[in-house]
Amino acid sequence: MGLKRLAVALGVVAMSPVGSASAEVRSGSVADPVDSALHQNVDGTSYRDQDIQRVTASYDTAGSITMTFYFLDPVPASTADTLQASFSAASCTYAAGTALLLLPPSSSAYSPASMTLSGYEGSIPTTRTLSADHRAITVQASAPALANRDYGCVHLISLWRVNKVPFHCDAYPVVTCTDLEKAITDDTTSFSIDAATPAIPSPEPEGTATQTPTVTATDPCGTARDALRKKKQQAKKLTAQRRTARTRQRKRALTKQLETTKRSIANARARIDVYC
């Protein structure tokens, strides 16, 4: 190779981006049993709080997030509830750069989702799609600030609302007095996302599929007890996995998932005590 040709070749190598890598898509999902509270009225009617059945998530390191939330029943036209989920590193720790998604779980086109990044100002634009049977909501968000994150865990997944309660004061961490209280009506365990899991397709959007008949639980208390038993089994499995984890990062991630599962067990027990 001549000196001139060699110089050109070296120049091309030098101009190539150092450490560049193609984007990857990390995906995962979690299923949640029927465990929301069933409210019974004195007139014989009843209704159930919205119940999360499944959550799927995909993160494209090019800078986009897609999540789909599936519910037991069709979502209402309006609701006072808020649905939330977070994307963090594999340790499942809320830290700088964590993406927080908030949205009202309703069928209204005027109920937009919002996504923020911890440590950053402003919010990330999102698109929100309702499934044909009104039982699933898909949210997509994209922004340069989402690119090349170390997201490996989806956590803090819950449905909550703010209730009016008797005026009270809390002394920790500072004295705060209020007549409002945040109440979690349903939640599910955290889950991992990775490149080995294929991206999960979103459900058909509204207007493209036939509606599925509503499924009604015949024995809500029995279903709730079955759900509690499954959560306990999951806690045992997570405990065993944590005991054999080889890295501290994996052990911390499993500890976070176990803590979330234990909180879910406590909530399920409380609901059974009240309604069964």
Residue 192 inside a domain? The answer is yes
Residue 150's pLDDT is 96
- State the pLDDT at residue 105: 93
pLDDT on residue 71: 96
Residue 251 lies inside a defined structural domain of this protein: no
pLDDT at 67: 97
The residue count for the chain: 276
Q: Does a structural domain hold residue 34?
A: yes
pLDDT for position 211: 39
236 belongs to a structural domain: no
Asked whether residue 44 is domain-assigned, the answer is yes
Q: Which pLDDT tens digit goes with each residue over 18-30?
A: 334 578 999 999 9
Q: Which domain holds residue 186?
A: 22-213
What residues in the chain have per-residue pLDDT under 50?
1-20, 208-218
Helix axes 248-275 and 220-244, enclosed angle (nearest 10): 160
Structural domain count of the chain:
1
Residue 118 lies in a domain: yes
Residue 82: inside a domain, yes or no? yes
224 within domain boundaries: no
Is the pTM higher than 0.85? The answer reads no
Cβ distance 141 to 117 under 8 Å? no
pLDDT at 259: 82
